[in-house]
Chain A
């Protein structure tokens, strides 16, 4: 390069906001490339990025798996995956740009020959495709293989970036299954990669959602003054799925709802909703605030009264007859894995003292929905007759995460007519009708961030460990209990969850 690092690109200008940031020359290696995630999400996302002109010329994709494939077989697999799952139209010219950079390396994670072949492939790409030594490794594999793969990457010099080049690694959730394993995992990863080169993705929580919550809270004057214990009665954070565990039995049994979703996704939502204003929206200051609030989280003393867990039993859900958890394929009849989990948490700060946060997640619930409901206190005095406000509930502001991302505000309004009668109404805002269609998928944003080296909004290991610290005692308590409470598929969870809120004089919203 001719002018060194002090070069300012004259074609770029901070005011020129039409120009997208295109990643520098680079490539990506996917481990576990034959898996569902890789075919349904990663490959289509790579194509969609290329189609939107956001991938650098010469971008290369290397697949690594235990298959006896040649490069063109791999290209065919990617081709089929892209045709079936990509969000944008299939265009031949985009395909031609991409397909020349496809390589496949067959092998096992313990196979030294395969990794040295991977090393050679990467060097060859640097020469032939100009990827300039910049490569991201996407570990789309079960966590138990992380140590193997990361060890191999280190051993074969694949993690050493040359001068001016980068190597990054992407790890999917779950990050461990308790505090100890998370720490071990982190020790392995951080031994090989610097913290800023490790991207932990929680694909439930897209960057778009995070930014929407930040915008709602910190770009407006309207909500922040009432965003505290003076006005908020409690907060409910729900992620409900209408599907069962499907083909994920092997993964799910022994993990359960709390580890799968509450530990990462719901605690991240809690942190975003409860944190103080960050000094800036740089990843670093955002992380600082999230860590502060996670550190102030306190569990109730009586876990038996303030947590609940359940397991779905067969029944009719959404017009279909479905199996119970214990009848699912590959699930032992004696499994005590929970498919529903609910936890009450307090936050010991001035802003949130006395405001409980109720988190719940379950499979085979009434419908698919993720939302954060901030429920406000009742007006301290109602200058109406008791009959007039009989039907008036509590005001609520609901941040809908999916599907149909948007905001709902619930407030009281007079029912038209001569009698004075006040009833709850809702006001909806959606982020554009089909806006979702054109807004990039979480995976596209993530891959782009990885390639650009944008510090991720995704948690780093401190946050992961803090979350396990919150959850570990609950999980330990549950293992002593034996069987979770049963709930019929297609309902909103076990009665113990309702009782848990009823003890506080509250009730779950029907989302």
Chain B
């Protein structure tokens, strides 16, 4: 069922939601979060479609926010959908006039009680999401610097400099399969890494994050090479016994190489937005590893890292100075093996 309300306000929307939910036989029960999608007329269809797909795994009240021209009289229109699709409710809010600058006044009363709020900017994100009026309502703020039409490298650095706990970026989420495979490579071939290289198309925030992550974790310089893409095409880690390599020229199937073992193909597909969001929503606490990584991004770019509470990762947020000589390891306390996983022993 869909209901359109014009020139309305939050309390009318709330009553309409209640009425619709009852009329549809209360399908939208057990919602676990409010998912705010800040979008525009051009993108809202795809963005909300992805959000609905995610709400199958995380039943949510989805609030789509479209801010129109700030000129003219303040006005609020709402499109309500309940019981259409797997679970949850969806409200698309269109705001114009002065109201476009006060979107939070509409969103706040529509948040589900006592449950997490997540804000996602599928397109252009505010420079400091945590200080954005909508961002301030949220526990988790999801940006996507790769969505910027130009100046992606700058966009990543902006997000990195303004990082606050609770921020994440889909460029980071896209890296998970790569990171998992690299970690698995070192599980299989445990060796001291002396250096490495990440090759990707010229403007690719994920590649920059991967360089920062590897630099931060391995404490060695990682080169950034430029390739034709798509996305990240090649990662190499140099060890005394040879290179660990993952090569994905076509964006689909990768070749996995570790020393002393045959080469093997691995499917490494780029994920859909809905899959990325689902991973993002699975945990809503601070992503300490992302925090360490964006601090590293700042340092690699010659900027001061943002002030953040100490991360809980084993590295405790210390960043690697790019000019540091090879092989000198800062005392970071004893590293502990990740708990309770003994993968190669019977």
Contact = CB atoms under 8 A, between A and B. Distances in A.
A97 B343 contact: no
A21 interface: yes
Interface string B165-189: 0000000010011011111101111
Interface stretch (B119-127, B145-153, B331-339): B331-339
A15 B56 contact: no
Contacts of B187: 9, 12, 22, 24
A23 interface: yes
A56 B87 contact: no
Interface stretch (B7-15, B95-103, B155-163, B311-319): B311-319
A8 B253 contact: no
A207 B125 CA distance: 40
Nearest to B220: A10
B252 A93 contact: yes
A219 interface: no
Contact of A432 (B59, B190, B338): B59
B267 A50 contact: yes
A453 B188 contact: no
A30 to B, nearest CB: 19
A15 to B, nearest CB: 4
Interface stretch (A126-134, A229-237, A350-358): A126-134
B79 interface: no
Main SS at interface, chain B:
loop
A97 B241 contact: no
Interface in B225-269: 239-241, 252-253, 256, 261-262, 264-269
Interface string A84-126: 0000000101101100100000000000000000000000000
A318 interface: no
B289 interface: yes
B346 A161 contact: yes
A96 B56 contact: no
Given A432-B56, A433-B88, 19 more contacts: A2-B189, A3-B191, A8-B335, A15-B314, A18-B287, A21-B341, A24-B343, A53-B181, A57-B184, A57-B256, A58-B264, A91-B267, A194-B346, A433-B86, A433-B87, A434-B56, A435-B57, A438-B57, A453-B344
Interface of A: 1-4, 7-25, 50-51, 53, 56-58, 91, 93-94, 96-97, 100, 127-130, 132, 134, 161, 164-168, 194, 196-197, 282, 428-430, 432-435, 437-438, 452-453
5 contacts: A10-B193, A10-B219, A13-B315, A18-B179, A453-B346
Task: For the complex of A and B, list the 8 residue pairs with the smallest distance between their C-beta atoms, beginning with the closest.
Answer: A166-B346, A433-B87, A7-B190, A130-B261, A57-B264, A93-B253, A22-B184, A11-B183
